[in-house]
Amino acid sequence: MTDGAEHYEAVVVGCGPGGAAAAARLADHGVETLVLERGTEAGSKNVSGGLLYAEDSAPYTLEDLFDGVREEATERPVTDYYIHNVAGNSVKTYDLGDLHEHDTDWCDAVLRRQLDSWLEKRVHEKTSEVGGGVLTNVRVNGLLREDGEIVGVTCDELDPITADLIVAADGVNSELARDAGLMDWEEPDEWFQGVKAVVDMDPDAIDDRFDIGPNEGAAHLFSGDLFEDVRGGGFLYTNEDSLSIGTVFHLDSLVEREAEPHELLDALLTHPLLAGWFKNEYREREYAAKLVPDSKKVAHREPYRDRLVLVGDAAGQMQAQGPIIKGMNHAVTAGALAADAFAVTRGNADPEAAGRRYAKLLEDSGTMDKLRPRRYELTRTVGEHDAVTNAVERVLESRLGSLAVGNPIADRLLQRAYNSPFLVSMLPDTETGYVSLPTLIAEEHGKTIYWENEIEPPTLAERIGDLTYDTDVGNPHIELRDQSAAASGAAVSACPVSARDFGGGCYRTEAVKTNGTEETLVSLDTQPCVECGTCAVVADTEWEHPRGGKGVEYREG
Amino acid sequence: MTTNDDSEPEPDETESDDGEPNETESDDGLSHPTRDKKHVRALTDGDYADMWVFCETQGGELLEVSKEMLGKARALMDQFEEDYGDEEDVVAFLMGDDCEGLAEECIAYGADVAVYHDDERLERFLHKPYTEIAAHMARGEGTVESTDWREYDEPRYILFPATNNGRDLSAKVQAELDSGLASDCSDLFIEENEVSNPVKTGEPGVKKTVEKVLHMKRPDFSGFEYSTILCLDNPDRDFHPQGASVIPGSFEPLEPDSDREGLVVEHEMDIPDDWFRVEITDYDRLEAGIDLTGHDVIVCLGRGIADDPTAGMELGLDLVDAFEDAELGITRGIVTSSYQFEGHVEAYSKEERQIGETGQVVAPDLYIAAGVSGAVQHKVGMDESDTVVAINTDTDARIGDFSDYFIEGDLFEVLPRLTAAVEAGETALEPEAVADGGDDDD
Amino acid sequence: MRSIVLTKGVPDFSEGAVSFDEDGHLERGKTPTVMNPNDELALEAALQTKVRHGGHVSGISMGPPGYADVLQDAMASVYTDDSYLLSDRELAASDTWATAITLSAGLEKYDEEVADVDIVFAGFKTADGETGQTGPQTCWALDWPIVTHVVALDIDPEERTLRAKRLVEGDVDEIETVEVPLPCFVVTDPEFEPTYRTASHRLTHKELRAETEERAAEHDDHLTTWDHTDLNLDPDYIGLDGSPTIVSSVDPIPKASSDREATMLDPEDGMGEVLEEMQPYAAEAGE
Ligand SMILES: Cc1cc2nc3c(=O)[nH]c(=O)nc-3n(C[C@H](O)[C@H](O)[C@H](O)COP(=O)(O)OP(=O)(O)OC[C@H]3O[C@@H](n4cnc5c(N)ncnc54)[C@H](O)[C@@H]3O)c2cc1C
Ligand SMILES: Cc1cc2nc3c(=O)[nH]c(=O)nc-3n(C[C@H](O)[C@H](O)[C@H](O)COP(=O)(O)OP(=O)(O)OC[C@H]3O[C@@H](n4cnc5c(N)ncnc54)[C@H](O)[C@@H]3O)c2cc1C
Ligand code: SF4
């Protein structure tokens, strides 16, 4: 079956930051590398909130690998950093500058279409010098095996390809990681869902309204009660001539509350706090969504099998602790380390030599400890335990609790606590960290905001209508295995482009009469799908990505 | 591909934007042009008569468009006789491996003469032999027995179907006969024409009236304009037959009449093997699919049928049946629903009937949308319709923004009433009276 | 493989570019000229041949000197190695017959003086004329075997044959597989899609595409212009003089109005108007 197949020394699947870093580094080592990307251009499928970190402690940053990336492909550097705790119209703001600067060499806001397409060109230049290159519009649909051992990849668009090293840098919904049995799509509590709007704004208006210079940028985080008690928070980052505004929620919490992601985003957009920035002007360029892995729970400690290594989101290497979201930088590190591992084990007869070496490099470089902090593993067992959480909640709600948080010393302590990477990494993932505490802080310390926010975000139908799709007509990429509301009903609200009482999204429920009895069934139309991956986890589906170049095309990301 | 300065009334583009080289060029009377001459086959002052119709076949049957052209040709030549007093014929011509029976069928569909050529190698269309045979037929070459029914040099008019093969053949045959062609016509009529174009009249500033000109109307410029094309003789070079290819569905066929009299002629000619350099090794029929375009009326159903999907579908189909030429379309909302349709209507709930951005784009005279909300992706599939009627319970539904009539009501009540009224419509001119007319009684 | 592709300039009918006068007639002067969109597929087909089997691709066009830009566009937007323009005043206002004669003369000259041609590629209809005739007629003048409406193709360089899948329209559409000896003439269908099933072919494709813009920037160095004397054509048989057909009139096609004002009707009493609209389409009674 592998006879006559084309062979490359290395095949990298996905050209996001992880894939780009791996490929660039492989090319540096002179390895013949083929990169396969399913989008029409790298970045056309990708979403991030947008802060790309370069950590002092990291073995690699994107700039180490791609000279000029900051000048040519990123947006504004973050120079101001705040968190806003919200309770109704009351807001308490802390400066998070210290936390932000801890271990940070630089940090730029990015838009993924712009960034990734730039990286793609550089990667193609580098890899074509060693006999490979980047191919877009190609979707890898599985692993090629020989006698049960992974030896290559199969694609929708190309004949099978064999390789000595296969790098799965195919993101959060990695089909390859699942094919290899290294990751699964089972538990909602292992994932976040990120939803984001890119909002048009004139550069001068940005400078003016955020009180920054042309080469400065602001980052604002939001937590508290503006999200219907769903665990998670919001962000706003400044780009050159737009804002990235979004939300990141625990998927289990979204499902549990049956919250509508687009409404949560709208709650943030229409909060009075944002009125001063919008000045009642709002033009949304793009609505986007994507799952985000929670490295604390899913970062794989041995992300390899045979010749296959996983890097970035595919391996769950996305660090979200407290308000910090760091995925792109770790994907870069992991990609480069995987390449280095292959370079030293090249020619080794053992197909897993590179994988083992890569896992060791992740450990030795301290990357794995950032992704899966031991402290967290210890606190979690108690912190997230229901009984304990409930007890903490009760204390917070009691007069004593508010008193404790409300006293002026507490205010200073709180600011310091938020700025301590150590404390932040210990915040348990319960409502306490995300909702109760911030709400309480705002109630006790907050200023009331009297601005009127009169903007009207687009409806879901308009948002879908504004997106660009190349629909693979007659070839749906997701199939519902179980139409019952019990199995798949959660997707109706959790899907970012579906909603209850909205017929134009992917998922909806229908009351169907069969022989007199009425039954509620779920139906699916994949055409408005933005390929976020949510329903792969919360509904009973057969989930694949669309074929190369098909499906949604992000222009901003 | 190339050209179509034929569709361009103003003389040329070259004149305006080129410079010197041409000045010297025109003095160059010394070249010895030869290459093109070998292709010139035109006559001067030839005799022309009859309207020829190429009848394309598929799998041993006449294509629908072949019958439509015969019907149109019949009407045109009957009118011709009335206008000019000369009786000229409709001549069907066709080829294949066994088409005598089809030739007879052509007579039934309105031809006076049907010329056919049989050869087992001609079962499927091939450019070279089909072109050579057609030209040979048109020129009246061949045995005496097969040509003594006619006394002219070449046909006056010639029609081809604007199908992939028919269009190719029209281009090659007209080139071989050294004449012109208007392709993809949707209307034809014969009339005199006053010409002033000096190339055609021979002298600038003089107008000349030409009789019996076939006027060929066709959508042009990517569908932005209609052009009327004429194929006219030059003073010293005849351009006959005047040729057109005809868009399928443009005309109505006649009711076949097997008693019609006509002459069936077998054409004879030697066909060298050398003409079969292109070999057809295989062919497959594509899924027939449903074509929602080209109908007078489309009735489109949306998720408004949710309360009883099967009944809703039936009501839509009833209304379709009440029209002469209508089809049923559906929204994407129906395609992807989990409605449990009963067997007899289930086939209507499939993607092949979807209208919109990712379905078919239709532009009927009348578009009736029942229980359709009017999403943008649906709109782009029907917005060019002449008259749009919406039936919806929700007056805020977006479809209202692009409807001519908005019937505020439940489709389960409105559809049957429309159907009854349309069905009864023939007898009663006053629609109001129809709505409560006799039908309910029986 | 040596391929040559016929291309033509057409008014840019895309929204925003195209301009119509008050009577709804196309304003050529105000509408930019672009490469005929269907020709892009012919170019893709030629490029596929080059990617798979190596060789050379030339673009050829007949038209005013301004069409050099169209050939440049063809070079930049898909791929050609060089360009040939058949242009002079005598060729102006040709209809398809005259165009076919001129192009076939150009192709014969190329075949005799530049290099033996294996395949001539042409696109389907033009966006302005939409006749679909030029390919078949040019081929008729050459008397080469022809395959039209090609949706996919493959070449066997050893056997010197081309295998193609072509779309046949009928009451039911069909896909035909045909085999033709080289040299031959290929007209691509609007449904044509190049196929590259191996990574190395795709990389070669990408590499060739990457070269095009640079080369196109120096287009004059790759352009050869021939006039009617070079082609040995008699002015009486080309251009307007050699054209059988003329356009007698052009009428704008009325577009359904897109801003409609809905008349609200109550089914209880107000459906008369709608029924009046419907009656003309009613089936004959008694069916
Ligand atoms: C709303 C939101 C906010 C975020 N905010 C931040 C932030 O502020 N900072 C930060 O660092 N991180 C942030 N992240 C996380 C960050 O986006 C990811 O961690 C990062 O993109 C992971 O990079 P990657 O290279 O592993 O995968 P991706 O960037 O997802 O790249 C995967 C690539 O593989 C391709 N691909 C997938 N499957 C196939 C296939 N089968 N065949 C071929 N190609 C395939 C995809 O098209 C894509 O190009 C955020 C994420 C979201 C959703
Ligand atoms: C990329 C993409 C491509 C798409 N392509 C297409 C496409 O090609 N074609 C298409 O149609 N859609 C398409 N869609 C889907 C489109 O957005 C809509 O979801 C769909 O058209 C809605 O179908 P609907 O009008 O039947 O349903 P709904 O939007 O649910 O509307 C039902 C309507 O019925 C009315 N109604 C309910 N009960 C009754 C009653 N008893 N009597 C009368 N009225 C009643 C309601 O008021 C409502 O207006 C596409 C979407 C995307 C994202
Ligand atoms: S259908 Fe599934 S993958 Fe697509 S947008 Fe909705 S939840 Fe995300």
| CATH assignment of the domain containing C110 | 3.40.50.620
How do strand C82-86 and strand C56-62 relate by DSSP bridges?
A: parallel
> Is C120 inside any structural domain?
yes
Instruction: Pick C168 or A518 by higher pLDDT.
Output: C168
Distance CA C71, CA C66 (A): 9
Q: Cα of A249 to ligand 1 centre, how many Å?
A: 17
- A239-286 pLDDT, tens per residue? 999 999 999 999 999 999 999 999 999 999 999 999 999 999 999 999
Residue A134: what pLDDT?
A: 98
Q: Does A471 sit within 8 Å of B335, measured CB to CB?
A: no
Question: Which of A109-113, C215-219, C247-251 has the highest average model confidence (pLDDT)?
Answer: A109-113
Question: What is the Cα Rg of chain A in Å?
Answer: 23
Instruction: Pick C235 or B127 by higher pLDDT.
Output: B127
Our mutation pick for probing the ligand 1 site, out of A166, A328, A333, counting the most ligand atoms within 8 A of Cβ, is A328
Sorted by where each starts, the structural domains of chain A and their CATH numbers stand as 6-75+110-183+300-371 (3.50.50.60), 77-105+184-297+382-466 (3.30.9), 468-553 (3.30.70)
> Is C270 inside any structural domain?
no
* Whether pLDDT at C55 is above 90: yes
Q: Is B12 on the interface with C (CB under 8 A)?
A: yes
Q: Is B306 on the interface with A (CB under 8 A)?
A: yes
> Is C194 inside any structural domain?
yes
Sequence-distant (≥ 6) Cβ neighbours of residue B6 within 8 angstroms: B180, B229, C94, C95, C96, C129, C131, C243, C245, C246, C247
Nearest ligand 1 atom, CA A532? 53
- A338-374 pLDDT, tens per residue? 999 999 999 899 999 999 999 999 999 999 999 998 7
Give the model's confidence band at B27: pLDDT under 50 very low, under 70 low, under 90 confident, else very high. Answer: very low
- B133-157 pLDDT, tens per residue? 999 999 999 888 889 999 999 999 9
The partner residue sitting opposite C199, judged by closest CB among A124, A128, A135, is A135
Our mutation pick for probing the ligand 3 site, out of A193, A472, A478, A545, counting the most ligand atoms within 8 A of Cβ, is A478
Q: Is C260 on the interface with A (CB under 8 A)?
A: no
- C174-194 pLDDT, tens per residue? 999 999 999 999 999 999 999
The partner residue sitting opposite C64, judged by closest CB among B13, B40, B164, is B13
Q: What residues flank ligand 1, with Cβ below 6 Å? A: A 13-19, 36-39, 42, 45-52, 139-140, 169-172, 175, 194, 196, 246, 248, 290, 292, 312-314, 318, 325-329, 331, 545
> C5, C36, C137: which to substitute to probe chain B, counting the most B Cβ within 10 Å?
C137
Q: Is A161 on the interface with C (CB under 8 A)?
A: yes
| Other Cβ atoms closer than 10 A to B48 | 18
* Whether pLDDT at C256 is above 60: no
Which residue, by CA, sits nearest to atom 8 of ligand 3? A532
Residue C194: what pLDDT?
A: 93
Q: Cα of A131 to ligand 1 centre, how many Å?
A: 26
Strand residue runs (E) in A160-255 = 161-168, 191-200, 218-224, 232-238, 242-250
How do strand A33-36 and strand B48-54 relate by DSSP bridges?
A: unpaired
What is the interface pTM, i.e. ipTM, of the complex? 0.86
Count of structural domains within chain C: 1
Specify burial of residue A425 (Cβ count, 10 A radius: 0-12, 13-18, 19+).
middle
Distance CA B71, CA A372 (A): 80
CA distances to B129, B226, B281 from B272, in Å: 9, 42, 20
Q: Is B290 on the interface with C (CB under 8 A)?
A: no
> Is C162 inside any structural domain?
yes
Distance CA A208, CA A214 (A): 9
Q: Does C146 sit within 8 Å of B175, measured CB to CB?
A: no
Instruction: Pick B435 or A193 by higher pLDDT.
Output: A193
* Whether pLDDT at A515 is above 90: no
Q: What residues flank ligand 2, with Cβ below 6 Å? A: A 464, 469, 471, 503-504, 527-528; B 302-304, 331-334, 354-359, 371-373, 375, 377-378, 381, 391-394, 397, 410-412
Of A76-90, A204-218, A535-549, the one with minimum mean pLDDT is A76-90
Give the model's confidence band at B201: pLDDT under 50 very low, under 70 low, under 90 confident, else very high. Answer: confident
The partner residue sitting opposite C197, judged by closest CB among A8, A34, A159, is A159
Q: Is C213 on the interface with A (CB under 8 A)?
A: no
Domain that holds residue C208: 2-237
- B363-421 pLDDT, tens per residue? 999 999 999 999 999 999 999 999 999 999 999 999 999 999 999 999 999 999 999 99
Q: Is C151 on the interface with B (CB under 8 A)?
A: no
Sorted by where each starts, the structural domains of chain B and their CATH numbers stand as 48-276 (3.40.50.620), 297-424 (3.40.50.1220)
Q: Which two tokens stand for residue A36?
A: 């396969």
> Is C213 inside any structural domain?
yes
Percent of chain A exceeding pLDDT 70 equals: 88
The partner residue sitting opposite C180, judged by closest CB among B278, B326, B406, is B278
Residue B431: what pLDDT?
A: 42
Distance CA B416, CA B315 (A): 6
Of A169-178, A413-422, B382-391, the one with minimum mean pLDDT is A413-422
Residue B28: what pLDDT?
A: 43
Give the model's confidence band at C255: pLDDT under 50 very low, under 70 low, under 90 confident, else very high. Answer: low
Which residues of chain A neighbour B333 with C-beta distances below 8 Å?
503-504, 525
Which residues of chain C neighbour B284 with C-beta distances below 8 Å?
174-175
Residue B438: what pLDDT?
A: 41
How do strand A447-448 and strand A90-95 relate by DSSP bridges?
A: antiparallel
SS3 A272: helix
> Is C287 inside any structural domain?
no
